[in-house]
Structure 1
Amino acid sequence: MFIETPKAQVSKSKEDTFNFLNELSNFRQLMPENISKFEVLSENRFLFALKGMPEIVLEKKEQTQFNKIVLGAASEKLPFTLTADIIELENEKSEVVLSFSGEFNAMMAMMIKTPITNFINTLSTNLAKI
């Protein structure tokens, strides 16, 4: 399953946007209002939970300085990645596209597609406000 958000314009340089996303504690600002738990576990891992949903631990899997950050599920039970691609528009303006990619059976994909789409769209919308 692959889901991609529309481009979010951020009023920060490409470097500042990358640094913001690279600091995992900043993801708290991007989370939906129905977040019930958020905790930074280490420099490369954080845990979050939305009301009525199980806790998810994300960890940095890969990064290309100032261009891309890839977060992935720390658990092998639900293998997926969340990628932020950062594009420079001007000195103090950049664009971010978030994409979700995961391997799920058809039933699971059907159940989670809408909540995940809503979740990453909220992250993208909130990113445009930073």
Structure 2
Amino acid sequence: MKLESKKTIVNKSAQETFNFLNNVENFKALMPENISKFEVLDNDKFLFALKGMPEIVLKRKETKEPSQIVLGAAGGKLDFSLTANITELEANNSEVQLLFAGEFNAMMAMMIKGPISKFIDTLAENMPKAV
């Protein structure tokens, strides 16, 4: 299953946006209002939970400065990635799009597609204010 967020304009350079997203602690500022738990576990790993959902641990897997950061599931039953693609538009403007990719059976994919789409859109929508 592959999902894409809307593209979001951030009034920061690609490098500044990359630096913000590369610090996993900053993801707390992007989380939806219904977050029930957020905890930094390491300098490249964090745990979060939304109300009514299981805890998810994300770990930074790969970076391509200043254009891409890949986070992946760190343990748990589901294997997926969340990629932030950052494009420089002007000196102080960049565009970010989040991509979610995971292998799920048809039943699981049907159940999680809506909530995950909403989740990555919320992360993207919160980015201009947070960065």
**Do they fold alike, i.e. is TM over 0.5?**
yes
Residue matched to 1:119: 119
Residue matched to 1:105: 105
Runs of 4+ in 1 over 4 A off after TM superposition: none
Residue matched to 1:96: 96
Amino acid in structure 1 at the alignment position of 2:42:
S
Q: 1:81 and 2:99 equivalent?
A: no
Shift, 1:76, TM fit: 5.1
In the alignment, the residues of structure 1 paired with residue 128 and residue 6 of structure 2 have an alpha-carbon distance, to the nearest angstrom, of 11
Shift, 1:127, TM fit: 0.6
In the alignment, the residues of structure 1 paired with residue 41 and residue 24 of structure 2 have an alpha-carbon distance, to the nearest angstrom, of 10
Shift, 1:128, TM fit: 2.2
Q: Secondary structure at the match of 1:53?
A: coil
Aligned length, in residue pairs: 130
Q: TM-score, normalised by structure 2?
A: 0.97
Shift, 1:129, TM fit: 2.0
In the alignment, the residues of structure 1 paired with residue 61 and residue 93 of structure 2 have an alpha-carbon distance, to the nearest angstrom, of 26
Q: Secondary structure at the match of 1:87?
A: strand
Shift, 1:77, TM fit: 1.4
Aligned-pair identity in percent equals 63
Amino acid in structure 1 at the alignment position of 2:80:
F
In the alignment, the residues of structure 1 paired with residue 54 and residue 92 of structure 2 have an alpha-carbon distance, to the nearest angstrom, of 37
CA deviations over 1:71-90 (Å, ceiling 9, x no partner):
00002510000000000000
Amino acid in structure 2 at the alignment position of 1:17:
T
Q: Secondary structure at the match of 1:104?
A: coil
